[in-house]
Amino acid sequence: MPARGRRSLPLVASAQSLVGLVALRYRPRRPLLASVIVAWPLLLELLALAVYAPVWLVAASAFAAGAGIAIHLALWFTVFQREVPEHAQSRVSAYDALGSFVLIPLGMAVVGPVSAAIGIQETIWAAFAISLACQLAIVALPSVRGMRASEPRPNLATG
């Protein structure tokens, strides 16, 4: 990464963490599909890094990625609580966390040797291609596209 990039990483990281309140009002008709699609700005961040975009563009893409992840997580956990039976939520949550977090250290362990072998920019392009393929595969699932939002349940506390 160019020297200007290393000095600018705090700006990029800060841009990722500025959004989350939007998710409180967003009520899509297909919440699982929307959950997947709103995470796509992560692809823009990889793309910006792959082409050595100016710092302001990397920061803007990081902001969009942070917003997308915030909304993705709000939608995902809403779908999870509505669709997974209560007796199975603990087990399903454990598998979800395993799939989500166990791969992070594996990726961290692999990215160094891969980028040393093929180059940093090529590694970022590979990450972009793999991420895009995974996103498209998830969207192709009929169960993801077909799940509809349920009607809001009445709040029993307010009557």
The Cα–Cα gap between 117 and 75 comes to 38
4 confidence band (pLDDT: 50, 70, 90): low
Flag whether pLDDT at 37 surpasses 90: yes
Contacts (Cβ under 8 Å, ≥6 apart) of 76:
32, 35
Contact call for residues 38 and 72 (beta carbons, < 8 A): yes
The pLDDT of residue 1 = 54
Contacts (Cβ under 8 Å, ≥6 apart) of 96:
80
Does residue 23 or residue 28 have the better pLDDT?
Answer: 28
The Cα–Cα gap between 19 and 34 comes to 17
Q: What is the mean pLDDT of residues 132-146?
A: 93
Does residue 59 or residue 6 have the better pLDDT?
Answer: 59
Helix (H) or strand (E) holding 112: helix 103-118
Backbone angles phi, psi at 120, to 5 degrees: -65, -50
What is the tens place of the pLDDT at every residue in 69-127?
888 888 888 888 888 899 998 998 898 888 778 888 888 999 999 999 999 999 999 99
CA nearest to 60, candidates 22, 16, 19: 16
Can you give the residue ranges of every domain in the chain? 3-146
